[in-house]
Structure 1
Amino acid sequence: MPNCTLNITTGIQTFQLATMIPTFILGVLVNIYVLVTFCRLPRSAWTNMNIYISNMAIADCVVLVLLPVRFASHIWESSEIWDQTNRELCFVLVSVYYVNMYVSIFTVTAISVVRYVAIKYPLKAREILSRGKALVVCALIWLVTCSFSAMFHYVDKPEHNSTIKCFQKNKEGGFPLSFILVLNIVGFLVPFLIMLFCSVNVIFKLRKQLKIGSRTEKLQCMFIISANLIVFVVCFFPVHFGFFFKYITQAYNHSCEAQYFAHNFVHGAMCVSNMNCALDSFSYYFATRTSWKLCTPKQTAREEYKCNYKSVAR
């Protein structure tokens, strides 16, 4: 394998800074506003959707807070900040950053499932959906993502006690294919397929009921569901493709130019994925606030009854 020195280009650093500032400001303001708004609600007013959105907002806030640290680590990667005495601090920061990114991915997927169940099976939704089950699902999401972190530090452990690079790969050579496949399949492909299935079914269900109840709210809900799916793909597909692309260039001994390009592609794609932190809560709270009642068991059961009654009347 060619002995390539993989550093981030000035262009990627500029792109990181250009995307970090608006993402950080907008994301922190929106997520904090969502959390404060939910915290002010009485406990009896909380729903499973409140729990999922709060879980996502917490994860996104943590990622946003760590964005400046991640950017600074690339600029001062040769600094004494990341020497051997502070390697545990680096491990903690990297773990928190990646864990919360995947918490956001899995929570968005859970929201899609909840919305699918509430609209597709409204009469059974009350039995299936509850605040207690939402808390259990959130706990499982954190457990799974923390296991990702443990796997990452195991496969990224450097062979020698050299100075580590925070938020960059430290092990010589590429990651094992098994780890890359776990990230891409469990961390992106499976959530995407679940979201795609739920979103398509919900959109078709709402489309059939456009003449029943509020047409405007149903159209708005269909638009938001489609937009959420597109944002998910735009934000998370490039970075997971980049993981696999970088593995290919290193595992098959491609030229240093190819490895250099793949390395910078991954870091550029990470900047795009970070923008999801600002878009998540905005789309799921503000944009859907007026159409939330479409995704509650009580309302969807009423819509189902009206739809069935109209079909029988015909």
Structure 2
Amino acid sequence: MTICNVTIPREVQVFQMVTAIPTFILGFLANSTLLVLFCRQRKNCSDMMVYLANIALADSTALVSVPFRMYSYSNHWPFSVSSCLVFVSTYFVNMYVSIFTTVAISVVRFVAVKYPFKARAVKSPWKALVVCVGIWAVIGSLSAMFHSVDAPEANGSNFRCFQKNSERPLPLSFILTLDMVGYLLPFVVITYCTCNVIRRLSRRIDSSSSAKKNKAIHIIAANLAVFIVCFSPLHFGYLLKFLAETHWPHNCELQQFAHSFVHMANSLASTNCFLDAFSYYFLAKASWGTLREACCGTQRRERGSIVI
């Protein structure tokens, strides 16, 4: 029986470091800035501000694991097994909290634009807070699933964290849960809502509000682009690695390619931690007041408002 000894090639490690360093630095700077601004504006808090603060919090927390993840790729884990599980949970839980908070933002935008008179039913800071707490609770409660399928032995040593600990493929049910529930369902909802919002905003553009609405369209499109670029390769990689390990276990070249692809896609997914902040904040190219108006739906005309 052929056993493929897959590793993380040098060029993949270089890619990981090239993406990890700016992700860590820019991510903390951008998300910290957003969180400080949210705290200063808490008296004028809106539902969208709650959602954006939740994304910034999730991204900031996920960044904590980046240095440890980079270390673990080329070294054996020097700490306890439980600490490894904590850092793995921190990364994956916060990634999916960010994904499903983006889904909530997309749904709220869609309802506010298509059904403006029903928007009050979903646009409330307290309701947004309940949704965010619910997302954390559900994703957090499912985090044990990440470990039950491939956790190191309780008294294990000489293992690598953030990497598979078993030669067996991960269960198909686990892969489908990640790909279908964690990615495909959010992708369909976000894409549907985004396309409908952009189409409706484009129809309403007139000379007096064209600049503001065009900026809104660009921000919304950027959010969708960030989601696709960051999360599509990773979830495709999960499926590719499963198929390679299940149907072509003796093809070591394919095994190595799938292994390297997943690690590169994982690094690319981490860039979401600062691209989220850029797409919401730096794309606006404005002061906090303008950002709050653009992102939180406080910009009003005589009849209606622009909701991003």
TM-score of the two chains, using structure 1 as the length reference: 0.88
1:125/1:287 CA distance change after superposition, 3 Å: same
Aligned 1:92-107 pairs, distance under 5 A: 92-107=86-101
Report what 2:149 is aligned to: 155
Look up the equivalent residue of 2:275 and give its one-letter code.
L
1:139 to 133, 140, 153: 133
User: What's the Cα RMSD here?
Assistant: 2.2
Q: SS of the counterpart of 1:157?
A: coil
Report what 2:201 is aligned to: 206
- Return 5+ residue gaps in structure 2 as ranges: none
Aligned 1:87-126 pairs, distance under 5 A: 87-126=81-120
2-structure distance, mates of 1:6, 1:150: 26
Report what 1:311 is aligned to: none
Report what 1:33 is aligned to: 33
Higher Cα Rg, which structure: 1
Residue 158 (structure 1) shift: 5.0
2-structure distance, mates of 1:23, 1:247: 28
Spell out, residue by residue over 1:46-78, the C-alpha distance to the aligned partner (whole angstroms, 9 max, x if none): 11111111111111111222111100011212x
1:210/1:70 CA distance change after superposition, 3 Å: same
Report whether the alignment pairs 1:265 with 2:261: yes
8 Å CA contact retained: 2:89, 2:143:
yes
1-structure distance, mates of 2:156, 2:252: 22
TM-score of the two chains, using structure 2 as the length reference: 0.90
Report what 1:48 is aligned to: 47
Report what 2:20 is aligned to: 20
8 Å CA contact retained: 1:122, 1:298:
no
Look up the equivalent residue of 1:194 and give its one-letter code.
V
Report what 1:70 is aligned to: 69
2-structure distance, mates of 1:63, 1:171: 25
Report what 1:247 is aligned to: 242
Look up the equivalent residue of 1:68 and give its one-letter code.
P
Report whether the alignment pairs 1:278 with 2:278: no
2-structure distance, mates of 1:279, 1:247: 29
2-structure distance, mates of 1:97, 1:46: 28
Larger mean CA deviation between 179-188 and 289-298 belongs to: 289-298
2-structure distance, mates of 1:210, 1:51: 28
Residue 295 (structure 1) shift: 6.4
Instruction: Name whichever structure is richer in helix by fraction.
Output: 1
2-structure distance, mates of 1:33, 1:58: 11
Look up the equivalent residue of 1:150 and give its one-letter code.
A
Report what 1:196 is aligned to: 191
Look up the equivalent residue of 2:195 and give its one-letter code.
V
2-structure distance, mates of 1:44, 1:291: 16
Look up the equivalent residue of 2:16 and give its one-letter code.
Q
8 Å CA contact retained: 2:81, 2:156:
no
Look up the equivalent residue of 1:87 and give its one-letter code.
V
1:100/1:269 CA distance change after superposition, 3 Å: same
Report what 1:312 is aligned to: none
Q: SS of the counterpart of 1:195?
A: helix
Larger mean CA deviation between 276-285 and 154-163 belongs to: 154-163
2-structure distance, mates of 1:161, 1:44: 49
Residue 190 (structure 1) shift: 0.7
Look up the equivalent residue of 2:151 and give its one-letter code.
K
Look up the equivalent residue of 2:20 and give its one-letter code.
M
Percentage identity across paired residues of the two chains: 48
Look up the equivalent residue of 2:111 and give its one-letter code.
V
8 Å CA contact retained: 2:293, 2:299:
yes
Look up the equivalent residue of 2:118 and give its one-letter code.
K
Look up the equivalent residue of 1:206 and give its one-letter code.
L
